[in-house]
Amino acid sequence: MKIPERAKQEGILEYAERLSELYSRIYDAKIRKLKGQFFTPKEVSRFMEAYLKYLMARFVFWILVRVLLFLLLPFVSDY
């Protein structure tokens, strides 16, 4: 199977979905089942992306708070 190129206007999620549909048409469910292959639905992928962004934002905020406390604590402890 020759893998088609990604179109310039096509997002990575749409490209992956197009490839999985193409693969599913070429190989039937029996072969995919024997290989243990499955494809994550687009909705699940979008949820995981949003959740990862949320976790990263919380992590960055947590790091910033710790750095600020580390930098400001010597000045506050004098009182």
In this predicted structure, what is the pLDDT of residue 58? 94
Q: Is the Cβ–Cβ distance between 15 and 9 less than 8 Å?
A: no
Residue 74 and residue 51 share a domain: yes
> What pLDDT is recorded for position 77?
62
Is 29's pLDDT higher than 90? no
> Taking the complete model, does pTM exceed 0.75, yes or no?
no
Residue 78 clears pLDDT 60, i.e. is over it: no
Give the residue-averaged pLDDT of 30-39: 83
Same domain, 2 and 17: yes
Q: In this structure, are residues 13 and 20 in contact, taking their beta carbons and an 8 Å threshold?
A: no
The answer on 33 and 45 residing in a single domain is no
Q: Give the whole-number percent of the chain exceeding pLDDT 90.
A: 25
Range of the domain at 75: 40-79
Q: Please enumerate in sequence order all residues whose Cβ is within 8 A of that of 14, keeping only pairs 6 or more positions apart, or say none.
A: none
Looking at the fold, whether 73 and 50 belong to one and the same domain comes out as: yes
pLDDT of residue 79: 52
